């Protein structure tokens, strides 16, 4: 269930927190093995069995103001404690009634060789002596033990796709800022009842893409592993694949299924679209696609969990065969390529993972 990658530690990462991503001419930030070794070998004192002690440590380590980039309002962190890596998040979940829930989750970092990583989750409220104050639509102040931190949510209210990026049957659901640093437009095709994640290229994209060996229609990010298809009919790139290992371990690069545009969904737009795809969910989801308990949420994961680039060519084959077909855009919904429709759910407030569903789909793709 990790949302950590590379060797950026909490103690280092906070130095850059609180400002927007900076564009333009700047020197790179240097990371060294020396700093990493000194961090993992340091003897530390922290009662990791006490969630409030861990929360106090996290809050105390932050500056007075931080920026929450992902659009489901998760603020991710990680740290080493006596040679073991921990990761987690603070999530601010606004409610339609003007209130909010603040979730705190942490766990030992899972790995390919040890994926069983139980996690600890609590809701931070007055019962835990935690104060939560809504300052404005995009700013919340969290206070505990004399330390206060303002959390600025990512205001993407003005972000819209270029007109040429949408087809006549498509509706823009909202902007997504993924924890990978990649931005998307969530789009719904009402005629075909398809969701698509379209790459937002209105600003610089924080990745470098290389072409697949067999076609320049498929582009893959060197940093993220995100695979896109260059649309034959419109100047845009549609997300078609995410590296399976990242989905299984729930890293920063597991794809945008868990960063829906919660703060920017207008009225019933998303629920209406979901019910057109899954009519049997009527009366069982709210306008965000969550079940009444709030513990699970409808999962929009239209892309393939791939292990090799060769697995992505089924999209190109379908698109080439159906280039003039009314069902051309069905080619970019993985479950439709497999002749079915996914009915997946994912954890919501505690931010657990939908990785079991992803792993199943990845195996099916290779069988």
163 three-state secondary structure = helix
Residue 134 and residue 166 in contact, taking contact as beta carbons nearer than 8 Å: no
Q: Report pLDDT digits (tens) over 300-327.
A: 999 999 999 999 999 999 999 999 999 9
Domain ranges of the chain: 10-153, 163-366
**Cβ-Cβ contacts under 8 Å for 34 (sequence gap 6 or more):** none
**CA 48, 50, 53, 54: dihedral to nearest 10 degrees?**
40
pLDDT, tens digit only, all 367 positions of the chain: 455 444 334 443 333 333 446 566 789 999 999 999 999 999 999 999 999 999 999 999 999 999 999 999 999 999 999 999 999 999 999 887 778 899 999 999 998 998 887 899 999 999 999 999 999 999 999 999 999 999 999 999 999 999 999 999 999 999 999 999 999 999 999 999 999 999 999 999 999 999 999 999 999 999 999 999 999 999 999 999 999 999 999 999 999 999 999 999 999 999 999 999 999 999 999 999 988 877 789 999 999 999 999 999 999 999 999 999 999 999 999 988 877 555 577 776 544 433 333 333 433 333 3
How much of the chain is in helix, strand and coil states, percent to nearest 5? 25, 30, 45
Distance (Å, whole) CA 281 – CA 271:
10
């Amino acid at each position: 269930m990790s949302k950590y990658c590379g060797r950026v530690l909490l103690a280092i990462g906070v130095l850059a927190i609180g400002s927007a991503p900076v564009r333009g001419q700047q020197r790179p930030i240097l990371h060294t093995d020396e700093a990493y070794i000194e961090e993992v070998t340091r003897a530390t004192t922290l009662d990791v069995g006490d969630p409030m002690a861990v929360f106090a440590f996290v809050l105390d380590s932050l500056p007075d103001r931080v920026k929450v980039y992902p659009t489901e309002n998760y603020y991710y962190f990680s740290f080493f404690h006596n040679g073991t890596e921990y990761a987690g998040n603070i999530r601010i979940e606004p409610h339609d009634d003007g209130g909010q829930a603040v979730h705190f989750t942490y766990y030992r970092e899972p790995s390919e060789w040890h994926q069983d990583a139980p996690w600890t989750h609590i809701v931070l409220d007055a019962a835990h002596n935690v104060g939560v104050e809504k300052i404005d639509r995009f700013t919340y102040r969290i206070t505990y033990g004399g330390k206060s931190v303002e959390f600025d949510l990512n205001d993407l209210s003005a972000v819209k796709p270029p007109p040429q990026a949408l087809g006549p049957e498509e509706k823009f659901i909202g902007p997504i800022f993924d924890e990978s640093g990649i931005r998307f437009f969530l789009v719904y095709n009402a005629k075909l009842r398809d969701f698509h994640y379209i790459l937002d290229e209105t600003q610089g994209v924080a990745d470098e893409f290389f072409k697949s060996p067999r076609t320049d229609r498929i582009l893959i990010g060197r940093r993220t592993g995100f695979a896109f298809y260059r649309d034959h009919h419109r100047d845009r790139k549609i997300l078609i694949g995410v590296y399976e290992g990242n989905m299984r371990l729930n890293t920063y690069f597991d794809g945008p299924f868990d960063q829906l545009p919660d703060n920017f969904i207008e009225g019933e737009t998303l629920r209406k679209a979901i019910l057109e795809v899954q009519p049997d969910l009527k009366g069982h989801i709210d306008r965000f696609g969550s079940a009444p308990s709030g513990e699970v949420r409808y999962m929009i994961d239209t892309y393939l969990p791939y292990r090799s680039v060769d697995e992505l060519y089924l999209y190109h084959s379908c698109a080439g065969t159906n280039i003039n077909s009314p069902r051309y855009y069905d080619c970019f919904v993985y479950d439709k390529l497999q002749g079915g429709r996914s009915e997946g759910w994912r954890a919501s407030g505690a931010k657990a993972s939908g990785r079991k569903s992803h792993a199943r789909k990845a195996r099916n793709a290779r069988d």
